[in-house]
Homo-oligomer: A and B are copies of this chain.
């Protein structure tokens, strides 16, 4: 059985950063109060190697996120390709941290203008998903383990 994980190269880093930079939504995986995994769709806005996440206290993932439990986040569109496993995707392990909701309002609404309808609601809070590591599947049989540093932009001015 050969190791299916390839050595990380600049092409993998660039592909992962493109997925991260374009992430408007993703599939968030947490462990619920029942000890079982639970996946739900969330709206996102990337911020460097991290992502902003606006979450309602009424949602089922609010409790594990509030505890700061490490979560998993799948990003990248399957699209209309005939083979859903051909499209690249990135799974991140991330730690949720509280963010200043008022300070992130403009950035969030720039990407999610319809959220203006509920942004101020008291049950919504802003979090930052601090990326810890990543797992990129760039296509069939093309998998890479990434560190956080692989996802940080090498040129901050870019």
Chain B residues within an 8 Å CB radius of A42: 85
Please tell me the number of chain A residues within 8 Å of chain B, measured between CB atoms: 43
Contact A1 B58 (CB under 8 A): yes
The answer, yes or no, to whether A91 is at the interface (CB within 8 Å) is yes
A125 interface residue (CB < 8 Å to B): no
A29 contacts which chain B residues (CB < 8 A)? 27, 29, 37-39, 72
The complex is assembled from copies of this chain, and their number is: 2
Cβ-based interface call for A18 (8 A): no
A43 interfacial contact with B, CB 8 Å: yes
**Which residue among A1, A27, A39, A77 has the maximum number of chain B CB atoms within 10 Å of its CB?**
A39
**Sampled A-B contacts (10; CB under 8 Å):** A1-B123, A24-B84, A25-B78, A28-B39, A29-B38, A30-B37, A39-B72, A41-B76, A82-B114, A83-B115
